[in-house]
Amino acid sequence: MIPSANPSCIILELRLALYRRVVACAYQETCKKCGLQLTLTIDDLEEKIVHGVEVAHVAEYGLDPGVEIACAMLGDMVQADFLSAPPRLTRFGKQVMDEICRDHLYPGQLNNNLH
């Protein structure tokens, strides 16, 4: 058996799913804070991440290496303290998610009740 480069005790598929959810939640919150309307649910965002990040790496590098690369990339997209603080994207994470979701972002609604 070849030892994995991954020192984590959490299996790769679980880490990948966790990172996918954390990135999706962090991006949704980032959009709210920036006054952007995102027309995707958390589940939709996760699907975008699967196709925009994971599938691309698996197609290029093969199943096992591609999944490991995608997992590492998603880990680099969020701040490391997401288990003890609200999830936040890194600058890299915001850039990747903006690219993946660009067709689903709109300026937020202006408050027409201001006088």
Query: Is-above-0.75 flag for pTM?
Result: yes
Residue 6: is its pLDDT beyond 70? no
Q: Report the alpha-carbon distance of residue 23 to residue 75 in Å, rounded.
A: 9
Q: What rounded mean pLDDT belongs to the chain?
A: 87
> Residue 39, SS3?
coil
- pLDDT above 60: residue 61: yes
For residue 86, CA distances in Å to 3, 19, 22, 60, 79 come to 33, 13, 9, 33, 9
Question: Dihedrals φ, ψ of 36, to 5°?
Answer: -105, 140
